[in-house]
Each structure stands twice: as C-alpha cells, then as structure tokens.
C-alpha cells in the first residue's frame, strides 16, 4: 500500500511543502532496497479539484521548484495542488550523485530499458 506523504515546510524558506517518498531502488525488486524521492507541493488556494504533477523532463533536471517556476492561470492554481519532484539522482533525491550510486543507477536503467527489434510487421521488445 502506498505511503501517505507527511508534508512539512520546505527547507531554506522555500514557500512550498515538502516530503520524501520511498520508492524501490530497482523496480525489478520492488520489495528490496528503497531510496527517497523529494516531492514538493503548492496547495490549491481555493476549492481543490485535484493535483497537477509537473515533470522536469531530463535527464538530470531537478523539479522540486517547478510549482514556483511555471506560470499558470489563477484558475489552475486556485483549484489544483501543484506537485514538483526531484527525479532520482537530481537535487535532493537519492542516489546522492556519488560514482558508486551513478554506476548502480546506470546498471538498473540498463536492465529495465526495453530493447526492440523490428522485422516486417513484427516488433519484439525485451529487457535484459
């Protein structure tokens, strides 16, 4: 069952709420080691209708401040919580950027990235 985020003020006076969400280090082993992904929230200022998750793209781009950086109409910020996050290995999210963590991350991505071949009308994909 997913954990319920425990929101608290972000550090350094950033006017957002922050939390850390634990996710599998390797999604092929979801019950194995976990790492923290930092998430931010700018709460809706009016009657809340839902959330808007902001993806910084990448690779390598932190996004925890995106709720403050993207210009949206007041009608959106009134009704939606704006959610930003630092993808793994960026900003405040783990791995912390050490060489060992970068190697582990690269191996994990290589194992889970699909490889595809195409012949005539057939496409075959697999992971290592």
pLDDT at 82: 96
Digit-coded pLDDT (tens) for 69-81: 888 999 999 999 9
Residue 121 lies in a domain: no
2 found inside a domain: no
CB 34 within 8 A of CB 23: yes
Question: What are the pLDDT digits (tens) for 1-12?
Answer: 667 899 999 888
- Domain containing 44 equals 8-94
pTM over 0.85: no
Q: Flag whether 55 is in a domain.
A: yes
Cβ-contact 111, 128 below 8 angstroms: yes
Is 105 part of a structural domain of the chain? no
> Residue 67's closest CA among 58, 79, 55?
55
Residue 6 has φ and ψ, to the nearest 5°, of -105, 90
């Amino acid at each position: 069952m997913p954990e319920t985020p425990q929101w608290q003020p972000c550090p350094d006076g950033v006017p957002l709420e922050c939390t850390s969400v634990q996710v599998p280090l390797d999604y092929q082993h979801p019950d194995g080691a976990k790492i923290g992904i930092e998430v931010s929230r700018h709460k809706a200022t009016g009657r809340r209708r839902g959330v808007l998750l902001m993806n910084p793209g990448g690779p390598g781009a932190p996004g925890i401040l995106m709720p403050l950086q993207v210009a949206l109409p007041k009608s959106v910020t009134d009704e939606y919580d704006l959610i930003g996050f630092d993808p793994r290995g960026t900003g405040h999210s783990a791995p912390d950027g050490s060489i060992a963590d970068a190697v582990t991350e690269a191996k994990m991505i290589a194992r889970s990235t699909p490889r595809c071949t195409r012949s005539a009308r057939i496409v075959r994909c697999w992971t290592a």
